[in-house]
Each structure stands twice: as C-alpha cells, then as structure tokens.
C-alpha cells in the first residue's frame, strides 16, 4: 500500500470544504453576477447538483473497486493501456489545474495585498508549505486541514458584521430574464463542485468505509450553504456592481467598519484565506503525487512531491502571460474543462464498469 495513513470521515469533510470554497468564493461571484444578475444567490443550489452527482459517481466507483484509487481502477475498467493513458491524462490534468490554482492565489495576493513582492516568491512559499504537508502523508494532511479549515471558516463569520448594510431590494426582480441566466451562473458553480472527484483519492484510505457517501453529501451541502451565504452578501451589498469587480468578496469585506475601530479586515481575512488555499493546493498536490506514483508503480510518493511542485510552479506561469488571460480562461474554458474530466469521464467509466460487471456476470 502506497499510503499507510488512515483518516476518518469527518476529516474528509474538513479537507474537502476549503478545497472547493477557497477559490470558489474568489473567482465565481463576479462571473455569477454577470450571468445571473439579481438571482445569483440561488446559483450554488443548482450548481451543487453536480456536486451530489460527482460524489455519487465517486462513491459508486469506490464500491466497485474498494481500496483503489482512480489510477488503479482505470486499468481495470478500460484495459491496461487505455487505463494507463487515461491515468497519465489525469495526472497532467491535476498538475495543470494545480498550476492554475497557484496562479489565482499569487495574482490575488499580488494585486490586493503585496504589490511589490514578486509573485513567484508567493507561489514558491505556498507550494513548499503544501509539499511539506504532502510529504508527511495523508494523516498529516488531514490533521492540518482540521485546524486550518476551522480557522478559515470561522473568519467567514466577519460577514455577520455586514448585516446592517444589506439591502434586500437587490434580490428583486426575481427571475427577471427567466431561468436561463441562473443556469448559466450555475454552470460555473457546478464545475467547481466537480472537484469533489478528488474524494476518489481519499476514500480508499478511510478507517471505516461505512457512511462515506453520507459524509460526501454532507460536505457538498455545507459547501453549497457557504457559497449561498457569500453570494447573498455580495448581492445584497454590492448589487449589480459586483459584476465589475474582480474580487467582490474582498470588496465587501473591505467595507466593514465596526465601532469605528474594527475596520480594514481584508488583510486579516486574506491571511486566513491563505489557510484555505493551502488546504486546496495540498489536496491537489496529494492527488497528483499519488496518481503519478501509482501510474509508474513507485512504492512511495514522497520522493516525487518536490519535483512535482516544481512542475506545478512552471504550469502556473506557462501560457498565462497576464492576469486577464487567466480571468478569461476561468470564465470561458475552465467550467467545461473541469467538468469534463471530473464528472463526465468518471461517469462514462462508471457506466462501462457497471456494464462490464453485468456482462461479466452473464458470461460466467
């Protein structure tokens, strides 16, 4: 077994929560506002449907091939060579997506918090930290995630200080242009929810396999609630101007002023957002490392973590010349890209696996 550590179900929730939210609350609301307008608060609800679907696919595949990661069962489902090829594509996919996450992180920090610090320093420091955690193994990732997620989620409570500023009239008109704009907004959301496919790399290492589906569903639900709250606050405070901002969450937190003394929370919240990004990049790096190690049948994945981090660092700059390119990519390409790899392909594979099982039974 390549991973000796074992984690429990609640820890999985703690790992997956920031994995979706960390970048979701940053990049999506602005796109959401563009598409869905006054109805943006409900887009996560529809988007989360894909989350439930992905969790179900992962769980079903996990039931069919217990104690195996996707890289291992791909070979069983579509044959040795095709499976290997698919595994390789997934490894490259996760490396590239990790690069994009790192780039989102550095661009955000560079524009808002540390304008004079070179982006590469920020990228290297986060990747190094994540690599340390991944080298520690899944148990270390899980334990670190518990503390980081708790602190990260608790800082979201500063949004409560904004309650006096909300303007419910922004919620109207309801469904101004029908249901289509909501679906468009939800489409961006659902691609983020498809990242729940990462569960496939965690479920084989659960201490107790019972109830993993329930834990996954619960996590999707929590993510959905969090995104609704964030979207709701953005909509009711900024209104339609949210569409013109790169980081609407940052804008609303900037506007907090409490007792005339507690103001300019945005740096503190950004600092805590680093915790969330750390968990996110750790999970992606872990998935990429363990997938690559299993693809080449290495007997430990720890040795490839640092080289892999370096590759990811390259991917965070490769073909992303400037910030606008990244935004464009997130806006136009990423929704299709993420969902193809993390929901549609697994769904097809699941169908093949189920058919194989049925035919196999019939033949035997």
Partner 1 sequence: MTFIKKQIHRKVKVKKRLSQAIPLSNKLKNNIDYFSSLYKDSSDVIFRSFTIGNTEAVIIYIEGLSDLQKLDELVLENLMNQNSEMADVFESLKNNIPISKLKKVHTYKACIDSISIGNPIILIDGQIDAYVLGIEKYETRQIEEPSAETGIRGPREGFTESININTALIRRIIKDPALKMKSVNIGKYTKTRVIIAYIEGLVDNTLIKEIENRLKRIKVDGILEGGYIEQFIEDNPYSPFPQVLYSERPDVISANLLEGRAAILIDGSPLALIAPVSFFSLFQSQEDYYERFLIGTLIRILRYVFLGVAIYFPSIYVAVTTFHQEMIPMDLMLSIASSREGIPFPAIVEAFIMELAFEALREAGLRLPRQIGSAVSIAGALVIGQAAVQAGIVSAPMLIVVSITGISSFLVPRYSIGLAIRLLRFPNIFIAGFLGLIGVMLSFIILIIHLSKLRSFGLPYLSPIVTLQKNATRDTLFRYPLWKFNLRPHLTGQFNPKRQKDNLKPSKREKQ
Can you tell me the distance from the alpha carbon of 253 to that of 162, in angstroms, rounded to the nearest whole number?
A: 8
245: left (phi over 0), alpha (psi -120 to 50) or beta: beta
Minimum Å gap between C-beta 276 and partner 1 is 11
The footprint of partner 1 (CB under 8 A) covers 8, 10-11, 14, 109, 113-114, 117, 121-122, 125-126, 129, 132-133, 136, 139-140, 142-144, 146-148, 260-261, 263-264, 267-268, 270-272, 274-275, 278
Handedness of CA 174, 180, 184, 189 (dihedral sign): positive
Q: What is the distance between the terminal CA atoms of the chain, rounded to a whole angstrom?
A: 31
Contacts of 300 (CB under 8 A, 6+ apart): 2, 293
Question: Cβ closer to partner 1: 35 or 108?
Answer: 108
Chain centroid to Cα 299, Å, comes to: 28
Residue 125 C-beta: closest distance to partner 1, Å = 5
Asked whether the beta carbons of 289 and 277 are under 8 A apart, the reply is: no
Q: At what angle do helices 180-193 and 212-238 cross, to 10 degrees?
A: 130
Beta carbon of residue 180, minimum distance to partner 1 (angstroms, whole number): 40
The CB-of-128 to partner 1 minimum distance in angstroms stands at 8
Residue 287, both tokens: 């998935």
Q: Nearer Cβ to partner 1, position 93 or 265? A: 265
As a whole number of angstroms, the distance between CA 40 and CA 228 comes to: 9
Instruction: Pick between residue 124 and residue 228 the one whose CB is nearest to partner 1.
Output: 124
Residue 334 Cβ vs partner 1, minimum distance, rounded to whole Å = 25
User: Does residue 141 contact residue 286 with C-beta atoms inside 8 Å?
Assistant: yes
Q: Considering the complex, what minimum distance in angstroms separates the CB of residue 344 from partner 1?
A: 34
């Amino acid at each position: 077994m390549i991973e000796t550590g074992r984690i429990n179900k609640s820890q999985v929730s703690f790992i997956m929560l920031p994995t979706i939210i960390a970048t979701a609350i940053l990049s999506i609301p602005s796109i959401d506002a563009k598409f869905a307008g006054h109805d943006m608060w409900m887009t996560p609800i529809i988007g989360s449907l894909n989350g439930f679907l992905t969790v179900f696919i992962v769980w079903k595949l996990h039931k069919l091939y217990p104690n195996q990661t996707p890289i291992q069962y791909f070979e069983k489902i579509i044959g040795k060579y095709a499976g290997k090829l698919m595994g390789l594509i997934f490894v490259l996919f996760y490396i590239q997506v990790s690069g994009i996450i790192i780039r989102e992180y550095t661009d955000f920090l560079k524009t808002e918090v540390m304008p004079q610090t070179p982006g590469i320093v920020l990228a290297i420091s986060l990747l190094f930290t994540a690599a340390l955690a991944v080298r520690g193994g899944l148990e270390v990732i899980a334990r670190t995630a518990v503390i980081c997620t708790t602190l990260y989620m608790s800082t979201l409570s500063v949004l409560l200080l904004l309650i006096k500023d909300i303007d419910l009239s922004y919620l109207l008109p309801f469904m101004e242009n029908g249901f289509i704009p909501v679906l468009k907004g939800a489409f961006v959301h659902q691609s983020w929810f498809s990242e729940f496919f990462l569960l496939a790399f965690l479920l084989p290492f659960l201490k107790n396999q019972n109830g993993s589906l329930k834990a996954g569903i619960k996590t999707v639900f929590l993510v959905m609630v969090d995104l609704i709250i964030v979207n709701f606050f953005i909509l009711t405070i900024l209104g339609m101007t949210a569409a013109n901002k790169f980081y609407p969450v940052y804008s609303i937190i900037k506007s907090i002023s409490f007792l005339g003394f507690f103001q300019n929370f945005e740096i503190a919240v950004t600092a805590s957002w680093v915790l969330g990004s750390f968990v996110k990049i750790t999970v992606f790096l872990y998935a990429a490392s363990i997938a690559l190690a299993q693809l080449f049948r290495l007997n430990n994945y720890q040795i490839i973590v640092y080289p892999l981090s370096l590759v990811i660092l390259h991917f965070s700059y490769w073909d992303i010349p400037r910030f606008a390119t990244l935004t464009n990519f997130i806006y136009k390409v990423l929704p299709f890209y993420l969902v193809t790899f993390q929901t549609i392909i697994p769904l097809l594979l699941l169908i093949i696996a189920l058919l194989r099982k049925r035919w196999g039974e019939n033949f035997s």
